[in-house]
């Protein structure tokens, strides 16, 4: 794969990933990851201090699936949808089929509950630090570190970023 093809594959993966979340197809979300994998939503505040606690930390597809089942069946929250904006997508490394990539993201949250129906607000700003591998030609995240600038989470975080 040459550099242009690689960049295209990374962009396609990221775009497909955010479309999956934004269109509420969360049951498909774990398939964007290898198994095992690391999915981590880490406040930059902690990362900067070298502290290990993230607000979400999953190390298998099973854990990602459990998150989705919990969201659908167990957690109570104001119904909402996301809209991701991606920018500055870039491949930062490529060695032995393991690709490192970065991208900025912004997530707007739109409420779908009775009180705030249709209200959109800026919910989260941050950066994806991704490690991507190809399994039978399919690009997947082996690691997705969501480094969150917006450490102060509005109400709660249930839908993955």
Partner 1 sequence: MEVCMDGVANHRSVSPVSLTWPADVARVPYRVFLDPAIYAYEQEILFRGPIWNYVALEAELPNPQDFKATFVGDTPIVVTRDKEGALHAFVNRCAHRGALVCREPRGNRPTHVCVYHQWSYDLRGNLIGVPFRKGVNGAPGMPEDFQPAQNSLRQLQVAAYNGLIFVSFDPQVESLAEYLGPDMRACLDRIFNRSVQVLGHARQFISANWKLYAENTRDPYHASLLHLFHTTFGMYRSSQGGGITLDAKGRHSALHSYRKTEAEELTAYKNTDLRTYQDKYTLADPSLLQGRPEFPGLTIQAIFPNLTVQQIQNTLAVRHTIPRGVEQFELVFTFFGYEDDDAEMRAIRRKQANLVGPAGLVSMEDGHATEIVQQAIRRDQDATSIAAMGGREIAGEESLITETGIRGFWRYYRELLGIAGAESVQKENGAWTHENYASR
Residues interacting with partner 1, by CB under 8 A? 41, 43, 45-46, 51-63, 65-67, 69-70, 73-78, 115, 151-158
What does each C-alpha distance from 3 to 12, 14, 92, 114 come to in angstroms? 14, 17, 11, 48
For residue 109, the minimal CB distance to partner 1 (Å) is 13
Distance (Å, rounded) from C-alpha 34 to C-alpha 36? 6
Rank residues 8 and 77 by Cβ distance to partner 1 and give the closer one.
77
Rounded to whole angstroms, how far apart are CA atoms 134 and 94? 12
Residue with Cβ nearer partner 1 (52 or 118)? 52
Nearest CA among 80, 153, 71 for reference residue 113: 80
Give the nearest distance from C-beta 70 to partner 1 in angstroms.
5
Least distance from C-beta 67 to partner 1, angstroms? 7
């Amino acid at each position: 794969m040459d550099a242009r093809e690689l960049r295209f594959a990374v962009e396609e993966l990221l775009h497909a990933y955010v479309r999956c979340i934004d269109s509420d197809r969360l049951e498909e979300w774990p398939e964007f990851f290898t198994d095992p994998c690391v999915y981590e939503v880490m406040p930059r505040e902690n990362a900067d201090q070298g502290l290990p606690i993230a607000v979400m930390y999953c190390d298998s597809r099973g854990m990602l699936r459990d998150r989705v089942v919990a969201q659908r069946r167990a957690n109570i929250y104001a119904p909402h949808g996301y809209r991701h904006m991606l920018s500055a997508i870039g491949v930062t490394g490529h060695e032995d089929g393991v690709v490192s990539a970065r991208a900025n993201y912004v997530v707007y949250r739109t409420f779908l509950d009775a009180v705030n129906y249709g209200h959109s607000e800026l919910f989260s700003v941050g950066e994806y630090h991704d490690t991507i591998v190809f399994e039978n030609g399919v690009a997947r995240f082996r690691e997705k570190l969501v480094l969150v600038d917006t450490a102060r989470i509005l109400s709660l975080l249930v839908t993955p970023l």
